[in-house]
Amino acid sequence: MLLGMPAIMVAKNLPQHVSFLNAWLEAVGLIVPSALLLLAVVAPTVRLFVTKVLLEPETN
């Protein structure tokens, strides 16, 4: 999905006589760094929330 979405956006907006591969690689180069940064922040936050809030141990 991370590589497919830029391909769809490029295919929709590609002008005539422009290389699809070059345009797609440029789009991937713009999207992937921000997606990886977002993943690095969101994944640990969600994991912490799930383990601390949703999976509370039973207290007797």
Q: What is the CA radius of gyration of the chain?
A: 19
* Mean pLDDT (the chain, rounded): 89
| Better-predicted residue by pLDDT, 3 or 12 | 12
How far apart CA 26 and CA 4 sit, in angstroms, is 13
- 30 contact partners, CB below 8 Å, separation of at least 6: 6
Tell me the pTM: 0.65
Which tokens sit at 31?
Answer: 């999207």
Give the residue-averaged pLDDT of 35-46. 94
pLDDT of amino acid 54:
84
Residues recorded for the chain: 60
The one-letter amino acid at 39: L
How far apart CA 43 and CA 60 sit, in angstroms, is 31
Give the residue-averaged pLDDT of 53-58. 76
